Amino acid sequence: MSDNPVIALIGPGAIGTTIAAVLHDAGRTPQLCGRTAHPELRLRDDEGETVVPGPVLTDPSVVTRPADLVFVAVKTTQNADSAGWLRTLCDENTVVCALQNGVEQKAQLEPWVNGATVLPSVVWFPAQREPDASVWLRAKPRLTLPDVPQAKRVVDALQGTRCAVELSADFATVAWRKLLQNAVAGLMVLANRRAGMFSREDISALGLAYLREGLAVARAEGQRSMMTLRRRSWRISSAPRPI
């Protein structure tokens, strides 16, 4: 990657705003792309506020050249809606880092990225949109990436920022574990309750059954390294909110 790489971000929601803010703090402000125009992005945490200058672009035709690195932070259901951005921001030299949940980011994005390399990630930080359109970051940001040569571009971009980057030689297993974690945490959303609800025996049993079903799917997909689930080693009462 060049000394002054062109970095773009598609989807300035909670996760996207966090990444944009840490890049901006390090002097690597990304080009902001989305569906809704905003003059700026604001990230708040316990240490203060970062304002990322905009505007958020809404028309892909204004892009004049491909980016070296593109962060995609839209929901997977919005990939097709982002096709215009991906076509104009990507070429065969671009690395696309998917800041999305799930285990199929690469397959889901590759049809839209104009020959670019898609790099999946696991996002480990909770961030939420506030009523005033700012984003509240509730924990130190951290990403896990597969240990492949293309990951260096993301590592370099985030070097010296507040966002830690870890590389994993067994990324697929990490991604599956995160998917299962989010799935069980989703039960809290459905019940509108906190993690303490898992102290109930029936709710704990439901969560365990849900995890076992997910583990069976993971193994059927070839993830033989997934650990066998044991009740005594699973502290579901500390399950975090989904990210």
d(C-alpha 57, C-alpha 54), whole Å: 8
Q: For the beta carbon of residue 205, count every other beta carbon within 10 angstroms.
A: 12
Whether 106 is a known active-site residue: answer no
Residue 12: asked if its preceding bond is cis (omega within 30°), the reply is no
Q: Give the list of residues 6+ apart from residue 149 with CB closer than 8 angstroms, or none.
A: none
d(C-alpha 136, C-alpha 158), whole Å: 20
d(C-alpha 119, C-alpha 116), whole Å: 10
Cα 188 from chain centroid (whole Å): 20
Say if residues 168 and 174 touch (Cβ distance below 8 Å): yes
Residues classed as catalytic: 178
